[in-house]
Chains A and B, each alone.
Chain A
Amino acid sequence: MTSEDIQININDLSFNIEGKTLLHNTNLSLNGDGITVLLGANGAGKTIFLKLLTGLLTPSSGSTTFQSGNLSIKTRAFVSQEPVILRRTVLKNMLFVLEKITSEKSTLAKELLSLMGLDKKEHQNALTLSAGEKQRLCLARAIITDPEILLLDEPTANIEPNSTTLIEKYLIQKVRSSRKIFFVTHDINQARRLADEIVFIHTGRVIEHSSAENFFENPKTTEARKYISGKIN
């Protein structure tokens, strides 16, 4: 199975809390390949949308289906903005998420750490890593579970530029071809670098969904135009 076979259907999805609607009835059909960037200003509802896709939040109404042929997809991995690091070594953090630790998985863990520039730190206490290294570890830990869909919530916010570059390069060169990626950001330049398609969210509503090229060249809505020109943050 390749990521192109995956079909993601979002049907009338909404999320309310304490009488406030944080995501309004959303209907989308997304292809299973490439990087979908969820773009929008702070507080637009990007993270809520991503957590609904991950299953961390239960929608107030509607549903999301991840289908591959007739099979539903179960393997999803989520990386949050704040890296969650367990109090153990870097390598043990990697292996923790596995149901069964095999020699192949141990080798893979070391390979992924190497790709993330953490190979020399595998026996180091993971809590002593820098913010960027922690986030790279979180990404490697997500990949080792071999997810069909990878959901990343502003993984490069608050980290040093070299880690941002490494993560972006890794996603484009190594992950994009084999998995579907959802990437939340409010950084327009990052969206330009990464996105195959854009889902633009404004005040809890998906108001644009198009290819990255179309979105940046010819935004349909006033809000998107304002956002791209930096008039909405």
Chain B
Amino acid sequence: MNDISEAFVSSLGLILFLDAELLEIILLSFRITFYAVLISSILGIPLGAFLASTHFKFRNTVVSILFGMMGLPPVVVGLFVYLIFSRSGSLGWMGLLYSPMVMIIAQVILILPIVCCLTFQIIESLHTRYHEFFRSYRIAKLKSVIAYIVDSRFELTTVVLAGIGRSISEVGAIIIVGGNIDHITRVMTTAIALETSKGNLDLALGLGIILLATAIILNGFILFLRGKYLKTPGSTI
């Protein structure tokens, strides 16, 4: 018990004095999360909006596959990406294995279906209200997709935040493809796993506190948005 309380005090010291190692790990985590969520949002939101507002032959099959991909096991995704980017893999020539880039790719594979499917659900309900109006005024497809995204922007903010939450707390895929290399691919989750196994609890706890605080702030922000904009959609533009 004493060891734990000492480690806790020591971890707070690392946070308060902005320990260089701790800071480096945190910044890399945020950088990877930022790019993974950015790419997933740029691809996933328009795709979700398009699928929600368009009917074509294999739409239900595509949607079912995407929903199924929401539950992809991270370690399987990690293994899959590892096999592709390993030296003998089809994209091994790019030399990306054990780099932040391949960690972003793995995270995009995990987050993209989540962003796409949550967007699909939000915009599908908006489509029910809007589609007759758009059809009667012969609104072009691109214009209508943009309108769906613009008009559900507050709901979509929560989708992006959900993506950030998923990305920042992910460990299974990025530890396989990133290799948890010090100063190169070590992020909060992989560092916590390593430092805990080494018995270096102060750094693991310090990172754990930051990770927990990030998750709480994100969820708090989602709740704030829901309360402010989503329960009363007319309250603001």
Say if A and B assemble together: yes
Q: A125-B234, A125-B237, A127-B233 are in contact. Are A87 and B133 (CB under 8 A)?
A: no
Knowing A56-B132, A80-B132, the reply to whether A86 touches B137 (Cβ < 8 A) is: no
Asked if B136 contacts A54 (CB within 8 A), the reply is yes
Q: Closest approach, in angstroms, between the C-beta of A149 and any C-beta of chain B?
A: 12
A86-B234 CB under 8 A given contacts A56-B136, A80-B132, A80-B133? no
- B87 at the A interface (CB under 8 A): no
In the assembled complex, the CB of B187 is this many whole angstroms from the nearest CB of chain A, namely: 37
> Could you tell me the distance between the alpha carbons of A177 and B129 in the complex, rounded to whole angstroms?
32
A97 within 8 A of B: yes
Chain B residues near A97: list those with CB within 8 A.
137, 139
How far, in whole Å, are A125 and B235 apart by their CA atoms in the complex?
8
Tell me whether A87 and B132 are in contact in the complex, defined as CB-CB below 8 angstroms, given that A97-B137, A125-B234, A128-B234 are known contacts: no
Known: A84-B129, A84-B130, A84-B132. A77 touches B234 (CB 8 A): no
A-B contact pairs, 22 of them (CB 8 A): A56-B132, A56-B135, A76-B136, A77-B136, A77-B137, A78-B132, A78-B136, A80-B133, A84-B129, A86-B130, A86-B151, A87-B150, A87-B237, A88-B151, A89-B237, A96-B139, A96-B147, A97-B139, A125-B235, A125-B236, A125-B237, A128-B235
Contacts of B133 in A (CB 8 A): 80, 84
Chain A hits for B137, CB < 8 A? 77, 97, 145
A80 vs B133: C-alpha distance when bound (angstroms):
8
B contact residues around A86 at 8 Å (CB): 130, 147, 151
Query: Chain B residues with Cβ under 8 A from A127's Cβ?
Result: 233-234
Interface size of A as a range = 10 to 19
Which residues of chain B are near A87, meaning CB under 8 Å? Answer: 150-152, 233, 237
Q: How far is the CA of A227 from the CA of B129 in the complex (A)?
A: 32
Of the candidates A54, A87, A89, the one having the most CB atoms from chain B within 10 angstroms of its own CB is: A87
What band does the interface of chain B fall in when counting residues whose beta carbon is under 8 Å from A? 10 to 19
* Additional A-B contacts beyond A78-B136, A88-B150, A145-B137 (10; CB < 8 A): A54-B136, A55-B136, A56-B132, A56-B136, A86-B151, A96-B139, A97-B137, A125-B236, A127-B233, A128-B235
Complex CA–CA separation, A150 to B129 (angstroms): 21
B72 to A: closest C-beta gap in Å = 33
Shortest Cβ distance from residue A74 to the other chain B in the assembled complex, whole angstroms = 9
CB nearest to B135 among chain A residues: A56
Residues on B with beta carbons closer than 8 Å to the beta carbon of A76: 136
Q: Chain A residues near B236: list those with CB within 8 A.
A: 125
A89 to chain B, nearest CB (A): 6
Minimum distance in angstroms from A181 CB to a CB of chain B: 15
Q: Point out the residues of chain B lying under 8 angstroms from A89, CB to CB.
A: 237
Closest-CB distance, A146 to chain B (whole angstroms): 12
In B114-151, which residues have CB < 8 Å from any A CB? 129-130, 132-133, 135-137, 139, 147, 150-151
Report how far A145 CA is from B235 CA in the complex, Å. Answer: 28
Nearest-neighbour CB distance to chain A for B156, whole angstroms, equals 12
- What distance in Å separates the Cβ of A53 from its nearest Cβ neighbour in chain B? 11
B139, chain A: closest CB distance, angstroms? 7
Q: How far is the CA of A77 from the CA of B134 in the complex (A)?
A: 11
Query: By the criterion CB–CB under 8 Å, are B237 and A88 in contact?
Result: yes
Against B, the Cβ 8 Å flags (1 = close, 0 = not) of A1-39 are 000000000000000000000000000000000000000
Chain A neighbourhood of B147, CB < 8 A: 86, 96
Query: How would residues 174 to 185 of chain A score, 1 for a CB under 8 Å from any chain B CB and 0 otherwise?
Result: 000000000000
Q: Which residue of B lies closest to A138 (CB)?
A: B133
State which residues 196-237 of B face A: CB under 8 Å.
233-237
Contacts of B233 in A (CB 8 A): 87, 127
Least CB distance from A71 to B in Å reads 18
Complex Cα distance, B229 from A125, in Å, reads: 13
Tell me, in angstroms, the Cα distance from A80 to B151 when the chains sit together: 20
How many Å lie between the Cα of A77 and that of B138 in the bound state? Answer: 10
- CB neighbours of A55 from chain B (8 A): 136
Distance from B234 Cβ to chain A, minimum over Cβ atoms (Å): 3
Min CB distance, A70 to chain B, in Å? 22
- CB neighbours (8 Å) of B139 from chain A are 96-97
What is the bound-complex CA distance between A152 and B211, given in angstroms? 56
Residue of B nearest to A97 (CB): B137
